Amino acid sequence: MKRQLTRYIIYILFISISITTHSCQSDSVPKNNTGSGISLENRRSILMLDLIRAEEIFVAGKPHQALELLDKLIGEKSIWAEPYLLKGNIYTAVGQYEKARSAYNKLIKVDPNYLSAWFKLGNNAYREKQYREAINFYNQELTNEQANALQSKDKQIAMLQIGRCYMHLGKIDSALIIYGECMTIDSNYSEVIGDIARLHIDNGNYITALGFAKKALALNKNNIDYQYSLGTVYLKNNRYKQAVNYLQAVVNQRPFYEGAYYNLGQALIRSGNSNVGSQYLLKADSIQTLYSSLENLKLAADRNPDNQIKWLDLAIAYESVGMKTEADQARLAAQFTGALKNK
């Protein structure tokens, strides 16, 4: 359990930063006083301490208790937005996406300009492949009244997600435009550069893709996806030796990378090593079958978030293809639903 929760510590730290950052904004303090005899400033200080306690309870492996505390805070102090943010984040972490969406929507009703609220809704829509809706949410994050308080990195992340939505929708020109705007903030943002490389690869612009793939990998030498992109570009540009070097490195590090096996097989065959290349193509086919089954299991878990067995099946499937982080999250969701049944 400790190993599972360790992966969420950074996530929870992000929650704390989001809450603390917004708590410093004067607009986040409601203008009405309920007449409790305690000043709004003191009530807010008490709230922040309670939120920290709720975070600690969740990190300790007790999401139900954390949610119960948040419900109590919401009942007592519904004029505040932060409990809804943390509630949505916890529900997201345990795979309860509809409940997370509900919490974020309630947050926005309390404070429509709360930083990160629209971004969270965008991520929910993106996860559900509702890309047009996600674009609207991300744009709302970038244009609301508090948008000028966003850090440059936060703006870039929202713009990156918009670009990815456009890529999924097949709107290449729109994706390139938003990526270009993103690079005006930071021309060395490797994730954008890596996305541009993949975009050009997908559209057959292999010479253009080569420069972006090289730059992305130079900025992040350990990124397996960038190694894969560069290997693929070399394959498409008939530079088979370089392609084999990069793609072999990818499959050595990630044994279930379907595309890498397929492209490596193609590079070996074209360079005259047909026997070994054919074996890699067969491996790619078997991995594709595994991932198809995995996608069906994920869909079943997402559609039945309170079914513990489906989350456990998904966790086992993730483990079988070496996706440890995803497996841990699925097991955490299974643990949550199991505890829900036992209440």
Contact 341, 313 (CB under 8 A): no
| 3-class SS of residue 210 | helix
Overall average pLDDT of the 277-296 stretch: 91
Region 233-244 average pLDDT: 96
Q: What is the C-alpha to C-alpha distance for residues 270 and 241, in angstroms, rounded to an integer?
A: 10
Q: Residue with structure tokens 């949410």?
A: 137
pLDDT score of 168 more than 90: yes
Which among 82, 93, 148, 78 is positioned nearest to 123, based on CA atoms?
Answer: 93
Would you state the pLDDT for residue 250?
96
pLDDT at 342: 54
pLDDT grade for 245, boundaries at 50, 70 and 90: very high
Cβ neighbourhood burial of 225 (10 Å; 0-12, 13-18, 19+):
buried
pLDDT for res 167:
95
Q: From the CB of residue 240, how many other CB atoms can be counted at a distance below 10 Å?
A: 18
Query: pLDDT at position 8, please?
Result: 41
Query: What would the pLDDT profile of 5-50 be if each residue is shown by its tens digit?
Result: 444 443 444 444 444 444 444 344 444 444 455 676 777 788 788 8
Dump the DSSP string for 10-69. HHHHHHHHHHHHHHT-GGGS-S-----SS-HHHHHHHHHHHHHHHHHHHHTT-HHHHHHH
pLDDT of residue 37: 59
Determine the pLDDT at residue 20. Answer: 44
Q: What is the pLDDT of residue 4?
A: 42
The pLDDT tens digits for 95-134 are 898 999 999 999 999 888 888 889 999 999 998 899 999 9
How far apart, in whole angstroms, are the C-alpha atoms of residue 208 and residue 45?
Answer: 54
